[in-house]
Amino acid sequence: MTIPEVQKSPDYFRIAWQSALAASLCLGLPAGLLFWLLVLQRLKPFGPVERLVTILQDNGIPEIIGVLIGAFGWGIILSRISRYRPWWWLVTASMLGVYLGRRLFWIIYAWINFDFSGLPVHMVLAIHLSGLVLSVTFCTGLTHGLILRNWKAAMTLASITCLVSVLASFAAFFILDRMGIRVGMGNAAMPKVTAVCTMVAAMSGGMVLGMGFSYFVKTNWSTDSA
């Protein structure tokens, strides 16, 4: 594996907004698709949307496939953004990170087996969302760092990406709650909150991951060239 040659310092402003946009479309939208459709269905019932919602609710496989396809696209786009040429490694890292993160969350959830019955429903959702976001973003950042064969990059990308994503998601959750959109109070609050928080987490995490990965690509290339 070789680190691509970069002729000049990365434009981190460009990397930031491009990574945020790509992550929101490739990662956030597929992950929250069911909830966006539920919100759309509530606003204006539409036959095809209702059928798609039923399919996604009855079978989780289409959602997983959609998320993995999105991760595939994110890997390709991040390769162009960061100028890391072996795009197939980024695609593999993205798909593996997202898949392992989702699996790890549910394994830990089943293992802990915590009784949430005594907590308010909106707090239960906040804990679930934060846990899932943390697991997926940590694993994704880790796999992206590992393909650079750099443990510092792996741990830095994993920790910073998950920290920023969880904080951004929780901030969005809090703002929506202050606006009166609280889970358990009706008006399709659960899908609204989940869709928005998932999108915010993907956007913020993608921005940080894109900038961090580009930085370590540049650093690794400079080190290898020395």
**Contact 217/82 with Cβ under 8 angstroms?**
yes
pLDDT (0 to 100) of residue 130: 93
**Contact 214/82 with Cβ under 8 angstroms?**
yes
Residue 39 has pLDDT above 70, yes or no: yes
- Give per-residue pLDDT as tens, 149-190: 999 999 999 999 999 999 999 999 999 999 989 887 777 899
Q: Which two tokens stand for residue 82?
A: 């960061």
Distance CA 109, CA 105 (A): 6
Between residues 52 and 7, the one the model is more confident about: 52
Please name which of 141, 145, 130, 147 lies closest in space to residue 193, comparing C-alpha atoms.
130
pLDDT (0 to 100) of residue 8: 59
pLDDT (0 to 100) of residue 7: 46
- Give per-residue pLDDT as tens, 81-112: 999 989 999 999 999 999 999 999 989 888 88
The 10 Å CB-count burial string (b at 16+, else e) for 6-40 is beeebeeeebbebbbbbbbbbbbbbbbbbbbbbbb
pLDDT (0 to 100) of residue 4: 44
Distance CA 225, CA 183 (A): 54
Residues of the chain with pLDDT > 90: what percent?
65
- Give per-residue pLDDT as tens, 51-90: 888 888 887 788 889 999 999 999 999 999 999 989 999 9
Please name which of 17, 7, 19, 9 lies closest in space to residue 209, comparing C-alpha atoms.
19
Range 131-147 average pLDDT: 96
